[in-house]
């Protein structure tokens, strides 16, 4: 069955047909969400939220674009909204004072056989996350859709409601900005390790 046939069935009172769309697009939504949120639990929660929102809004789907494009737009917007909420919560937490911090949480090592390798890997992952999160919103959307989801510039342009040329420019600027930021982070880490 095509997406449009499934949508017609859902709109004609066969609510169970929506599960076919969920099964078809669940990994796509999850992959996009994790590209923005960097946390599998949060991405899984967001995936559920996206499908609930899509189900409740299905009557507004006009078919001007494909269902997957429409779903990507919902996913990107939901991801960005979630990031904004997390940013506000992090900012508020900076001003909260914890009287009894859990010292065990500071000493978590995932691979006791080689803690130094684990530390370096975690630093590198965190470096990439920070660099990605610091990109301007449109660059971040383009790079996540292109690199995490492997979409073409044409598909990204359709999702972002812009031209392929604009997407190409966003991707080039995003890559350039990521290189600069990662180079600066790497220099900072090397200096910190030399001082230690």
Q: Which residue blocks in the chain are alpha helix, DSSP H?
A: 3-11, 18-37, 40-57, 67-94, 103-106, 115-133, 137-143, 153-160, 164-195
Least confident of 32-36, 40-44, 89-93, 123-127: 89-93
pLDDT of residue 69: 93
From its phi and psi, is residue 186 left (phi > 0), alpha (psi between -120 and 50) or beta? alpha
61 shares its domain with 113: no
64 shares its domain with 111: no
Q: How many structural domains is the chain composed of?
A: 2
Other C-beta atoms closer than 10 Å to the C-beta of 136 total 12
Instruction: Provide the CATH number for the domain around residue 110.
Output: 1.10.10.10
pLDDT of residue 2: 93
Instruction: Provide the CATH number for the domain around residue 24.
Output: 1.10.1740.10
Q: What does the pLDDT average to over 125-134?
A: 83
Q: What does the pLDDT average to over 138-160?
A: 91
Tens of pLDDT, residue by residue over 32-76, are 999 999 899 999 999 999 999 999 999 999 888 899 999 999 999
90 shares its domain with 142: no
Last residue of a domain, one of 97, 117, 150: 97
What predicted TM-score, i.e. pTM, was given to this entire model?
Answer: 0.65
Residue 134, pLDDT > 60, answer yes
pLDDT of residue 194: 64
22 shares its domain with 114: no
80 shares its domain with 127: no
Q: What are the tokens at 117?
A: 């390798």
7 shares its domain with 90: yes
Cα–Cα distance measured from residue 160 to residue 80, given in angstroms and rounded to the nearest whole number: 13
| Closest to 139 (Cα-Cα) out of 168, 96, 102, 100 | 168
Q: What does the pLDDT average to over 167-188?
A: 86
Residue 105, pLDDT > 70, answer no
Quote the domain boundaries for residue 189. 106-196
């Amino acid at each position: 069955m095509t997406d449009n046939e499934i949508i017609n069935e859902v709109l004609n009172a066969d609510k169970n047909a929506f599960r076919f769309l969920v099964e078809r697009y669940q990994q796509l939504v999850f992959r996009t969400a994790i590209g923005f949120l960097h946390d599998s639990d949060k991405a899984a929660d967001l995936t559920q939220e996206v499908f609930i929102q899509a189900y409740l809004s299905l009557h507004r789907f006009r078919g001007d674009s494909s269902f997957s494009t429409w779903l990507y737009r919902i996913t990107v917007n939901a991801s960005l909204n979630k990031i904004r909420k997390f940013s506000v919560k992090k900012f508020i937490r900076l001003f909260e004072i914890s009287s009894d911090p859990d010292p065990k949480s500071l000493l978590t090592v995932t691979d006791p056989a080689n803690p130094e390798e684990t530390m370096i890997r975690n630093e590198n992952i965190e470096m990439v996350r920070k660099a990605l999160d610091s990109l301007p919103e449109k660059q971040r959307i383009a790079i996540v859709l292109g690199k995490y989801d492997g979409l073409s510039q044409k598909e990204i342009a359709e999702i972002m409601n812009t031209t392929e040329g604009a997407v190409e420019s966003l991707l080039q600027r995003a890559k350039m900005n990521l290189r600069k930021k990662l180079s600066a982070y790497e220099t900072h880490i090397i200096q910190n390790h030399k001082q230690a």
